[in-house]
Amino acid sequence: MPESVRYSVVVPVFNEEESIETTYSRLKGVMDSLGESYEILFVNDGSRDRSAGILRDFCRRDRRVKLLDFSRNFGHQIAISAGMDSASGEAVVVIDADLQDPPEVIPLMIEKWKDGYEVVYGRRARRKGESLFKRWTASLFYRLLRAITSIEIPVDVGDFRLIDRKVCEALKSIREKNRFVRGLVSWVGFRQTSVEFIREKRLAGTTKYPLGKMVKFALDGITSFSTKPLKIASYLGFIISGASFIYFVAILYQKLFTNTTVPGWASLMALNLFFNGVILIILGILGEYIGRIYDETKNRPLYVVREKVGFDNEETSAGN
């Protein structure tokens, strides 16, 4: 019989060759200090550097290290989901490989879990090494998401968290494609609490969330948990239609009963451009939702694994 595992640490990795040795060393030190069984499950999300080779070496040196090697880059949220799918621990910790979330916070999370909480998330008290623009947009996003959704999604919280086995099983049953894991964790419920920590600078390398990915991530979060953008588009359409009718009546009145109308195309073109812009925005909102519906109907697996290392059954697989 395989040894039961108390804790699983899931680490998504994408092009982290410069920091992954330090990440493994610090994680190993923290988990060894607990004196309980554990596994560290790295998910290589299609890295193009030496990350996969370094991770395979960890697996050879340490039987508690496991590797899921994706066939290509499927994205950070999918990598987290794959790690949860394969984790066997009674509690599962998700932490990024860049060491912005310090592994030394994990014992504090475990204390809360032993007190009876089923989700313990890390709340960022302060963020080091991030630009003012990044901090401002992140703060705006969390507060906007909280305002327009009916789910209580904590503010200033990322994916760094501990979840109980019951929560992990509930999340494994949710197979939507455009995933927003921190929102899904809030959606499934259970007893949740937080521990505060200071988010550090990246140890090495560059951020894996440039502006384009940040925008997509924000759209995934909003469209996954709220239909309010569609309602706002409808309200905007009604308001503009009403304003247009009032403007038409005013123009008709001026034409019939006054001499103040000025012939010309400037005002007409300005109105046309404004209304066309609004229509395109509304179509864009509709397109975001329709595109996500299209993704769900294709029923493709969430990810494809090229290689599994350190598992009892090491084979290529897909995450359905």
- 212-219: long-range contacts at Cβ-Cβ below 8 A with a sequence spacing of 24 or more? 214/137, 217/77, 217/180, 218/141, 218/145, 219/288
User: Same structural domain for residues 250 and 308?
Assistant: no
CA separation for the pair 66, 58 (Å, rounded) = 8
| Cβ neighbourhood burial of 51 (10 Å; 0-12, 13-18, 19+) | buried
Is residue 168, in this structure, part of any structural domain at all? yes
Question: Are 137 and 154 found together in one domain?
Answer: yes
Counting Cβ atoms within 10 Å, is residue 96 exposed (0-12), middle (13-18) or buried (19+)?
buried
pLDDT score of 1: 35
Same domain, yes or no, for 197 and 293?
no
User: Are residues 265 and 305 both part of a single domain?
Assistant: no
CA distance 282 to 277: 9
293 and 308 together in one domain: no
Please indicate, yes or no, whether residues 87 and 122 belong to a single structural domain of this protein.
yes
Q: Which of these, 218, 197, 202, lies nearest to 138 by C-alpha position? A: 218
**Residue 278, pLDDT score:** 72
DSSP 176: -
Starting at the edge strand found earlier in the chain, the sheet holding 157-164 runs 192-199, 119-127, 157-164, 91-94, 7-13, 38-44, 65-70, 303-309, 317-319
Do the domain assignments include residue 220? no
pLDDT of residue 198: 81
CB 200 within 8 A of CB 129: yes
Question: Which of these, 139, 123, 122, 142, lies nearest to 131 by C-alpha position?
Answer: 139
Question: Which residue's entry shows tokens 């979330």?
Answer: 101
Token digits of residue 9:
């640490």
Q: Is residue 275 part of a domain?
A: yes
| Owning domain of residue 256 | 228-298
Q: Is residue 221 part of a domain?
A: no
Residue 223 inside a domain? The answer is no
**pTM, two decimal places:** 0.72
Count of domains observed in the chain: 2
The CA distance from 31 to 89, in Å, is 13
CA distance 161 to 157: 9
Q: Does residue 157 sit within a domain?
A: yes
Give the Å distances, CA to CA, from 15 to 51, 179, 288, 298.
Answer: 6, 21, 29, 29
pLDDT at residue 289, rounded to an integer? 77
**In terms of domains, do 107 and 243 share one?**
no
Tell whether 218 is covered by a domain: no
**Residues 198, 58 share a domain:** yes
Q: How far apart are CA 47 and CA 173, in angstroms?
A: 27
For residue 103, the Cα-to-chain-centroid distance in whole angstroms is 20
| 15 and 75 inside one domain | yes
Residues 270 and 309 in one domain: no
157 and 35 inside one domain: yes
Q: Return the biggest CA–CA distance within the chain.
A: 94
193 and 110 within one domain: yes
Task: Report yes or no on 222 lying in a domain.
Answer: no
Residue-wise pLDDT tens for the chain (320 aa)?
Answer: 346 788 999 999 998 888 899 999 999 999 999 989 999 999 999 888 898 899 999 999 999 999 999 999 898 889 999 999 999 989 999 999 888 889 999 999 999 999 999 999 888 877 665 666 666 766 676 677 676 676 777 777 888 999 999 999 999 988 888 788 888 888 888 899 988 888 777 665 565 555 666 666 666 666 666 666 766 766 676 676 666 667 667 766 766 666 665 565 456 655 666 677 677 777 777 777 777 777 777 778 888 999 898 887 655 566 66
For residue 189, what pLDDT is reported?
Answer: 83
CA distances from residue 286 to 129, 248, 294, 296 in whole angstroms, order as listed = 37, 28, 12, 16
* CATH number of the CATH domain containing 133: 3.90.550.10
